[in-house]
Structure 1
Amino acid sequence: MSDKTNGTEHSEQFEQLSVEEQRQILQKYDPESNTRDLQGIMLKVVFFGLLAFSLFQLYTAIFGQYTAYLQRSIHLGFALSLIFLLFPAIKKGNKTKRRIPFYDYILSLLSIGVGSYWPIMADELYYRVGNVTTLDLVVGILAVLLTLEATRRAVGMPITVIATAFLAYAFFGPYFPGFLAHRGQDLESLVQLMFFTTDGILGTPLSVSATFIFVFLLFGAFLVKTGVGQYFNDLAVAFAGHLIGGPAKVAIFSSALQGTISGSSVANVVTSGSYTIPMMKKLGYRKEFAGGVEAAASTGGQLMPPIMGAAAFLMVEFIGGIQYWDIAKAAAIPALLYFTGIWIMTHFEAKRLGLRGLSKEEMPDRKAVLKKIYLLLPIVGIIFFLLNGVPTMRAALYGILLTIIVSAFNKATRLSFKDMIEALVDGARTALAVAAATAAAGIIVGVVVKTGLGLSLANGLVSASGGNILLTLFFTMLAAIVLGMGSPTTANYVITSTIAAPAVITLLMLDLPEGAAVPIAIALSAHLFVFYFGIVADITPPVALAAFAASGVSGGDPIRTGFVSAKLAIAAFIIPYMFVLSPELLMIDTTIPQLIWVLITAISGMISIGAGMIGYWYRQVKWYERILAVGAGILLIYPEGISDTIGLTLFLSLFAIQYFTRDKSHDKKKAIPVV
C-alpha cells in the first residue's frame, strides 16, 4: 500500500530503501507480498475481483450477514480464486511472475465453483444434512486441496505442512502410539467434517476472517491512504529523535504505532525499518543491533492493543463469555512492559556506546508535525467506540467513515474517489492471505475437536512435567514457538490456542472441582501465554522471519540479528509466565492502587533486567551485578509481596551503587556518526 504523502524534509537526510528495494525484501521474507506482476486484461480482472470482494464484505457488514455457510463459503471462494491468479506456484523466475499459466486459470475456476456450491445447493444440503453424495465428496475434496495449495502460496509452507499432518493424523488415527491413538476417520467422514460442518474449513477462524478481520483490514487500508504510515515516523522522530540514541527509540515508537494497523511483523519491519534502520546505522549502532531493534519493536506491534494483529477478534470467539475490550485491556500492561523493555535496553546500549540523539538540523519541525495530529483521530475513535460498547464490526465501519472525514481536513491527505477505490482493493488484497490462513487453521481445529487431540496433548504435557507448573509452562512455550514459526498472526494464534493452550488450562484447573467451568482469568492468561510465544517466534532463531527481514534492510548477519532481537525482547519471554502465575498483570480483579503498584514494580523490574542484559547502567555493570540485576527484575515483575520486597531491595541497592560510582566523563562523550 502506498502512502499519500511523502513525509517531511528531514526524511531525505538519511539514505532510505527505495520502494522497489522494500518490495524485494518483502517478497523474500513475506509470502503474502510475493505476488505476480500482472499486466493488461488480467490486471483489470484481478483489480475488479478484489473490488467486488471488498464490496461484498462491506455490504454484509452494513446490511447484515448471510447464514454461516453462505457467508463463509462466498468469502472462501473469493479468496481462493484470487489467490490462484495473484500468487505463482513457484516463487522464482520472472516468467511465472508476469503471466498466469493455464493450470492456475483452472484452479481459480474450480475455487469459484467450490465457493458457489453452498449458495447454489443450500436448500438441498440443509435437507439431507449428514448424507454426503458423490458430488459432495468431490467438491469437499477439492475444497481441502485448494485451501492447502492456496495457503502454501499466500501464507507459506509451515502452516500448510501442519494442516496436512493433522489431516493425516485424523485419517490414520489407529496407527498412532499411546495417548495419540484414536479410532480414525474415513474419507467420507473427514470430507464432511471439513466442508459440510462449521467445525472445519468453514469454522470459527474463517468466520472471524469473513466478518471482523476483513472490515478492520479495510480500516487499515483507508488509514494508510491518508499518509498515516509516514506520519507515524514523523511523529516518532519529533518526540524521540533528540533523546540519547534517538533513532532506536524512533523505531520503537513508530513500530508501536504501526502495530495498531499492521497485521504482519515482516511488513512492519520493512516499511518502518527502511526509514529507521539507516538512521540508527548512521548514528553509530551496529548493523545487527539496528536490525534487532526494528525486528523486536515491529514484532511487538502484533501484541499491541487494540488490534493485536487481528488475533483479539479470534480470542473473543475462542474463549467465549468475554468482550473484545476485556482482551485489549488485559493485553495493555504486558504490551507496555514489552516496549518499555526494548526502550530501556536501547537506552543503555546508547549510553554504553556514547551515542547522541538527532541534532536540531536533523529533527523535523515539531509544530508542523503536530498540525497533522488529526490523522490519529480514526484510531482514537475506534478505541472510543469499542470502549463504549459499540459492536466490533460496527466500530470498524465507523472508523472507515471517520478516516474519510478526517482526511478531508487537509488537501494533502484528502481521499479522492480513486483513493477510496484503491483502499478497497488494497484491503481485499491484504485479506487474501488471512482468509487462506484461517481456512487452513480451520482444518487443524476440526481435527483437534473431532479426535480430542487438544485434551490428549494437554494431559501428555502435564504428565511429562509431573504436574509442575513451571515445567508445563516451559514445554508449552517451546510448543508455541515451534508451532508459530513462519505463520501469520491469525493462523499462529489459532494453532497455538488449539494445540498448546489446553495444557496450561488443564494444569491451572487441577485445584478446582471436577467439571467446573473454566474461569475467565485462567482462559485469558492461557490464551495470551501461547499467543505471546507464537508471536515471538518471528524473532526467535533459527526461524526468525522478522529478524531476517530486518537484516535484509540493515545488511547485518541474519542469525546475529535474530539473537539481538530476542535479547531485546526478553520481556516477551518473561512476562507471560508472570501473568499466568499472577493475573494482576492482566488487570483482572485488580484495584487502582494494586494496578499502580504493579506498574511501578514491573517497570522497575524492566529497568533492572535491561541493565543486566546490556551490561551498562550508570557505568559498566560487572558480571555478578548483571546476575543480581536480572534476578531483581524478575522478582519485581512477579506481582507478589515477598518477591516485590526482595526485588525492590536489590534494585535500590544496585541503583545506589551504580549512581554513586558512575563515570561522569563517559556521559559527556559523543560518538562520531558512522556514515
Structure 2
Amino acid sequence: MTTTSSFRQVLADKIMFVATIAAIILSAFQIWQGITAELSAPIFRPIHLSWVLVLVFLVKPLVHINKHPRLYLPARLIDITFAGLTMWAVLRVIQFDYDDISFLLDGLSSADQLAGVIIIALLLEATRRTVGLVMVAIALFFLGYALFGDVLPDVVASKGFSVEEIIRFHIFSTNGVFGAPLAIAAGVVFIFVLFGAFLQVSGAGQFFIDGAFSVAGKYRGGPAKASVIASAALGSISGSAIANTVTTGALTIPMMKKLGYKPEQAAGIEAAASTGGQIMPPVMGAGAFVMAQFTGIPYSEILLVSIAPAILYFGCTLLYVHLMACKLGLQGMDTVEKLSVVLKQGWHFLVPLIFITTLLLMSYSPVLVGVAGCAAILTAAMCRKHSRLTFRVFLQGMKEGALLALPISVACATAGIVVGVVGQTGIGLQFTQFLIALSGGHLWSVLGLIAIAAVILGMGLPVTAAYIVLSIMAVPALTDLGLGLLTAHMIVFWLSQTSNVTPPIALAAFAGAGIANASPMKSAVQAFKLAQGFFLIPIMMAFSGLIYSGDNISGFVFAIITTIGLILAFAGSIEGRLINPLSLIERGILFMLAGSIIFTDSWIRMVGVAIIAAIVLFNIRPKSSKLAISND
C-alpha cells in the first residue's frame, strides 16, 4: 500500500514538473510570437489552444490525488489520453490545406470531422474543469440550436446545420472556436497577464499596496480606503477580480477587521474595490481588448473614454467606505509608512506602468506594448539591488503567467462557439427584435433587462466570457435605440462586471468572505451596496453622455457633475448621512432627486444637482464640523 501511494505521489510530482516546463515554454512561445508575428492566425490560434488544453489536463486532474487516491492512476491515464488526442486533432487543423477549396464542395473528410468533434468535446471538458458547468451548458445549448434550429417554432427557427457544416465553420476557419475571442486571449490578454505575473513576483504588487496605505491609512477607515486605492492600481493589471480580492484582501481584510469594520463589511469593501479594477485604465482586464476587436475602435480611444467613469466608480466606492467608517466611529491607523519612504524604495516600479500607458495612448500594437511592458518591469526590477530577480523567480513569473491565462483562453475559445453560432444562424437579429419588443422600445427597460441578463450569465461565466456573450446579443438592441456603438459596448462591459458583487452568487465577495471568515451572503450584500457605481454609471452613460465623443466638452463636464450628484444622492439616501446624519425627509428628497437626475431633461437635472448641492452644504453644520474632520 505504501509503495503504491509513493508511486502515485511520484507520478503526480513528475506530471507537475512537466506542466511547469510546458507553462514556461508556452510563455516564451507567446513572447516570440508577439515580437515576430511569424505564425498566421490559422496556425497560431490552434497551437495556442492545444497548448492550453494540454496544460489544463495536466494541472487540473480529473481526479485529485488526495480525494480519491485509488482512482488517481486510471484518471491520470485518461488525462494523458486527452492531451494526446488534443495534439493529434489540432495537428489535423494545422496541416489542413485551406487553398484547396474542394472541401467546400465535397465536405470535410471523416478524419477531419473526427478531429473537429474531439477539439470541441475536449474544449468543453477543459471548460468544465477551469470555468464550470454553466458555460459548458451555454455552449451546448447554442450548438444544439445550430443542429436542430429547423425543428423549432418559426419565431426562433433557423436553418438546421449538419455536424460537418458546424465543424467546418467552428474548427476549420477563423470563426467559432478559433475566432476573435480566442485571438484576443491568445495575443493581447496572455501577454498582459504575464506582465501582471512579473509585477507580482518582482515585488511591484506589494509596492502599490504599501503606497496605498501611505496615502490613505492615516484617515478615517484607512485600511478600507487603502484597499480601494490598491485595488484600483493592481486590479487593472491582474485580469481577475477574484485574484485581486485574494491578493490584496489577504493584507487589507484583517487590517479592516482589526480597525473595527465588521467581517462582512471588510469582505464587501475588498470585493467591490477589486472588481472595479477591471474597468480601470490602462489595462482594464481582458474585456476592453475584446471590445476593441469587436468595435474596430482603437484601444487608445477606449482607454481615454474609460478614465472619467472609472474615477467616478472608485470615488463612489470611497464615499461609501467613508460613510461606513463615520457610522461605526472608526479612526485611522496609528502608524503608517511615509509616502516618501515607500516611493524611495519602489519608485522604479512606476516606470513600466507609465511606459505602457504612453505606448497604448500612442496607438502602438497592444501585443507589442505588452511585450515591452514585460521587458520594462524586468529591467526596472534588475536596476535596484533589493528588487533584483533571480533566474528562479523569473521562471516562476513565466510559469504563473501561463497558468493564470489558462481559464481566460479556455473561456474565450468556448465563448467563440456562442459567437460563431450567432453568426452562422442569425439568431442575434431575432434576439434583438425580441428584446426591443419585450421592453416596449424603452431604453431604460432594455437596460434593466440587460442588467438582469448580465447578473444571470455572470453566475457561471467569467467576466470576459459574459461580456462576449452579452455584447453580441444585446449591443444591437442598444444601438437600434440610438446609442453609439462605443457607448453600447461600454454599458454592456460595465454591467458584465456586476455578477462578481451581486447576490445570490457573487464570486469576488465570496472569495473575500473566505478571508474575512464572514457570511458569504452578507458579504455579497455589502459588496452590492458598495459597488452601486456599476449600475448608476452605465445609466448615466446611456442618458447623459458620460462617454466623451470629442465634440461636446461642456456636455461631458455636465455629465460628470450630474453623475457626482447622483452618487451623492443615492449614498445619502441609503446610508442616512453625508457629512453628518440626515433626517428621513432629507433622505426621501435625495432619493427622489436621484430618480429625476436619471430620467429627465437637462434643465431638470440642473435643478436637481443644485438642490443636492444645497443639501450637502446645509449638512455641513458648524457645530458638527469638528466631528466631521477630526480624522480626515
TM bucket, shorter chain: over 0.9
Tell me the equivalent position of 1:622.
583
SS in 2 for 1:180: coil
Does 1:88 pair with 2:64?
A: no
Q: Residues 273 and 294 of structure 1 are in contact (CA less than 8 Å); yes or no, is this contact kept in structure 2?
A: yes
Tell me the equivalent position of 2:138.
162
Tell me the equivalent position of 1:645.
606
Shift of 1:246: 0.8
Does 1:227 pair with 2:227?
A: no
Tell me the equivalent position of 2:371.
397
Does 1:525 pair with 2:505?
A: no
- Which letter maps to 1:47? T
1:138-165 residue CA offsets vs partner (Å, 9 max, x unmatched): 0011011011110110112221111111
Tell me the equivalent position of 1:304.
280
Q: Residues 256 and 304 of structure 1 are in contact (CA less than 8 Å); yes or no, is this contact kept in structure 2?
A: yes
- Residue 379 to residue 462, structure 1, CA distance change in 2 (3 Å): same
Q: Name the CA distance, whole Å, in 2 between partners of 1:210 and 1:646.
A: 50
Does 1:191 pair with 2:153?
A: no
Shift of 1:176: 2.8
**Which piece of structure 1 moves more, 528-537 or 117-126?**
117-126
Shift of 1:628: 2.1
Q: Name the CA distance, whole Å, in 2 between partners of 1:135 and 1:284.
A: 65
Tell me the equivalent position of 1:485.
459
- Residue 662 to residue 493, structure 1, CA distance change in 2 (3 Å): farther
Tell me the equivalent position of 1:456.
430
Tell me the equivalent position of 1:610.
571
Return 5+ residue gaps in structure 1 as ranges: 1-35, 509-520, 671-675
TM-score with structure 1 setting the length:
0.87
Tell me the equivalent position of 1:180.
156
Q: Name the CA distance, whole Å, in 2 between partners of 1:80 and 1:192.
A: 20
- Which letter maps to 2:18? V
Q: Which of 394, 419, 422 is matched with 1:420 structurally?
A: 394
Shift of 1:195: 0.6
Q: Name the CA distance, whole Å, in 1 between partners of 2:626 and 2:394.
A: 56
Q: Name the CA distance, whole Å, in 1 between partners of 2:158 and 2:313.
A: 41
1:112-163 residue CA offsets vs partner (Å, 9 max, x unmatched): 1122222233467666346211111100110110111101101122211111
- Residue 313 to residue 657, structure 1, CA distance change in 2 (3 Å): same
Tell me the equivalent position of 2:354.
380
**Which piece of structure 1 moves more, 51-60 or 659-668?**
659-668
Shift of 1:418: 2.5
Tell me the equivalent position of 2:319.
344
Shift of 1:183: 2.2
Q: Residues 155 and 433 of structure 1 are in contact (CA less than 8 Å); yes or no, is this contact kept in structure 2?
A: yes
Q: Name the CA distance, whole Å, in 2 between partners of 1:127 and 1:436.
A: 31
SS in 2 for 1:242: coil
1:553-600 residue CA offsets vs partner (Å, 9 max, x unmatched): 1111111111111111111111112112233x1111345454444334
TM-score with structure 2 setting the length:
0.93
- Residue 639 to residue 364, structure 1, CA distance change in 2 (3 Å): farther
- Which letter maps to 1:582? S
Tell me the equivalent position of 1:111.
86
- Residue 623 to residue 602, structure 1, CA distance change in 2 (3 Å): same
Does 1:61 pair with 2:63?
A: no
Tell me the equivalent position of 1:32.
none
In the TM superposition, 1:122-133 aligns within 5 A as 122=97, 128-129=103-104, 131-133=107-109
Tell me the equivalent position of 2:4.
none
Does 1:587 pair with 2:548?
A: yes
Shift of 1:458: 0.8
- Which letter maps to 1:642? W
- Which letter maps to 2:167? V
Q: Residues 636 and 647 of structure 1 are in contact (CA less than 8 Å); yes or no, is this contact kept in structure 2?
A: yes
In the TM superposition, 1:235-254 aligns within 5 A as 235-254=211-230
Return 5+ residue gaps in structure 2 as ranges: 1-8
Q: Which of 311, 326, 330 is matched with 2:305 structurally?
A: 330
- Residue 669 to residue 317, structure 1, CA distance change in 2 (3 Å): closer
**Which piece of structure 1 moves more, 243-252 or 607-616?**
607-616
Q: Name the CA distance, whole Å, in 1 between partners of 2:160 and 2:243.
A: 40
Does 1:70 pair with 2:43?
A: yes
Q: Name the CA distance, whole Å, in 1 between partners of 2:204 and 2:72.
A: 31
Q: Name the CA distance, whole Å, in 2 between partners of 1:479 and 1:189.
A: 30
Tell me the equivalent position of 1:573.
535
Q: Name the CA distance, whole Å, in 2 between partners of 1:95 and 1:124.
A: 49
Q: Residues 467 and 507 of structure 1 are in contact (CA less than 8 Å); yes or no, is this contact kept in structure 2?
A: yes
- Residue 126 to residue 379, structure 1, CA distance change in 2 (3 Å): farther
- Which letter maps to 2:124? L
Does 1:411 pair with 2:388?
A: no
CA RMSD of aligned residues (A): 2.3
**Which piece of structure 1 moves more, 154-163 or 619-628?**
619-628
- Which letter maps to 2:582? V
Q: Residues 39 and 98 of structure 1 are in contact (CA less than 8 Å); yes or no, is this contact kept in structure 2?
A: no
Q: Name the CA distance, whole Å, in 1 between partners of 2:554 and 2:480.
A: 32
- Which letter maps to 2:14? I
Tell me the equivalent position of 2:3.
none
Shift of 1:637: 7.1
Q: Name the CA distance, whole Å, in 2 between partners of 1:577 and 1:178.
A: 35
